[in-house]
Amino acid sequence: MSDSAVTSHFWIANQPFSSSTLLVATPPACGLTGAPHTRSETTLELFDVDGAKVNEVRVEFPAGEVGLIELEPFSQGLKAQGGVPHGHLAVSSPAGTRHVCRQTFGGSTSLLQDPPMTRGRETSFTPLILGARREHQIVIVNASPEPAQVSIRLFYGSRAPEWNVDVPGNASRLIPLEAELLSSADDASWEKGAVQAYLRVSPRLQALVACHIIERVPGESVDQDVFRCLATW
């Protein structure tokens, strides 16, 4: 892949937690450089939760069309963290190509465009509601080959607990906010009802990370659970 290639970084998980499909919108036959071509090559690299490469796939699609790739056949080597097999997908294509990842959680589907990266010393915020039968998963993808340390700080009421999460190079982390992070804080006031909160994510060092916030509202049965992606950055 040339230096002019576009690379996107996604988080994917396997069944039963999620299933993923990659959509690749290739540039027209003339490309952006004017060089004629009839097919466009895309390279997929899949890394597990520890950053080890478990698969690399090259596919071709006709120029000017949209290709679909079901990712489950290529992601069987992913390790499980907290019972969820997941990892980091890096997708590289010629300049002008667009990548979108369609993720299905239970009966809910989200279309995730190329997530913007947060770099060292940058900060991202998102609002969320604590309590009220909601549960949240924080997903961090390290798009850099070097290890990253990420600061996660939660603001609610008069409290602002903070945690540091280490993510190896090319790895991903799935962090249950309530069950893992908030359970370690000396406060349970958020359990009493719906509490407005704000989550801040700040990578330290010179890391390049993407983050997703996934919310789950339990239903009467597992099949009736409602998932939605609150934020992607």
Residue 41's pLDDT is 94
CA distance 160 to 103: 31
CA distance 39 to 87: 28
Residue type for position 160: A
Closest by Cα among 129, 102, 81 to 22: 102
Residues 55-96 pLDDT 10s? 999 999 999 999 999 999 999 999 999 889 999 999 999 999
- Same CATH topology for 6-113 and 118-232: the answer is yes
Residue 32's pLDDT is 46
Residues 100-118 pLDDT 10s? 999 988 777 888 888 888 8
What percent of the chain shows pLDDT beyond 70?
91
Does residue 176 have a cis peptide bond before it, meaning omega lies within 30 degrees of 0? no
- CATH number for the region 118-232 comes to 2.60.290.11
Residue 76's pLDDT is 92
Average pLDDT over the chain, rounded to an integer: 87
Closest by Cα among 75, 103, 89 to 42: 89
Sequence length of the chain is: 233
* Residue 48: DSSP 8-state: -
Mean pLDDT throughout 5-22?
92
Closest by Cα among 33, 36, 45, 143 to 96: 33
CA distance 229 to 43: 26
CA distance 193 to 30: 57
Which of the following CATH numbers is that of domain 6-113: 3.50.50.60, 1.20.1630.10, 2.60.290.11, 3.40.50.720? Answer: 2.60.290.11
Number of alpha carbons in the 13 Å side-chain half-sphere of residue 192: 5
33-47, 53-67, 162-176, 200-214: which range is least confident on average?
A: 33-47
Residue showing tokens 């009467």: 220
Judged against a pLDDT cut of 60, whether residue 33 lies above it is answered with no
Cα 50 to Cα 8, 15, 178: the distances in Å are: 19, 19, 23
Q: In the chain, what are the domain boundaries?
A: 6-113, 118-232
Contact 46, 78 (CB under 8 A): yes
The side-by-side arrangement of strands in the sheet containing 66-70 is 66-70, 19-25, 98-105, 108-113
Judged against a pLDDT cut of 50, whether residue 228 lies above it is answered with yes
Residues 126-137 pLDDT 10s? 999 998 788 999
Judged against a pLDDT cut of 90, whether residue 152 lies above it is answered with yes
Mean pLDDT throughout 221-231?
75
Written as six digits, the tokens of 102 are 């369609």
Written as six digits, the tokens of 1 are 């892949």
Residue 1's pLDDT is 52
